[in-house]
C-alpha cells in the first residue's frame, strides 16, 4: 500500500502515519507476537522516514498506551 501511495505523496509532500503501540517496548506475558509486530512497525517507521524523507514525505508513528478494556482483563493487564 505504501509503495502504491509514494508517487502521490511525493507530488503532494504528504505524510504517512503508522499506528503502533507502547507495547513495542514492553515485555508482557502472552503478548509476545503482538509486541514483536508493533516493534517491527516502529522500525519500519524509522526506515521509511530515512528512505522517503529525501522525497519530501514525512513518516511518523503513534504509539498509544494501554486503554482499559475487557480484552486487557483477559490477559491479566487490568
pTM over 0.85: no
Write the CB contacts of 3 (distance below 8 Å, at least 6 apart in sequence). Answer: none
Per-residue pLDDT band for 43 (boundaries 50, 70, 90) equals very high
C-alpha cell at 57: 514525505
Write the CB contacts of 39 (distance below 8 Å, at least 6 apart in sequence). Answer: 24, 25
66 is catalytic: no
Return d(Cα 18, Cα 22) in angstroms, integer: 13
Which listed residue (14, 18, 31, 34) is catalytic?
34
Per-residue pLDDT at 53 exceeds 90:
yes
For residue 59, give the nearest of 74, 48, 75, 72 by alpha carbon: 48
Amino acid at each position: 500500500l505504501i509503495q502504491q501511495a509514494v508517487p502521490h505523496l511525493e507530488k503532494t509532500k504528504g505524510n504517512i502515519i503508522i499506528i503502533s503501540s507502547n507495547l513495542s517496548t514492553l515485555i508482557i506475558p502472552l503478548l509476545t507476537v503482538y509486541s514483536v509486530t508493533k516493534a517491527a512497525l516502529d522500525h519500519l517507521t524509522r526506515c521509511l522516514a530515512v528512505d522517503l524523507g529525501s522525497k519530501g514525505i514525512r513518516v511518523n508513528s503513534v504509539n498509544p498506551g494501554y486503554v482499559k478494556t475487557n480484552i486487557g482483563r483477559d490477559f491479566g493487564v487490568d
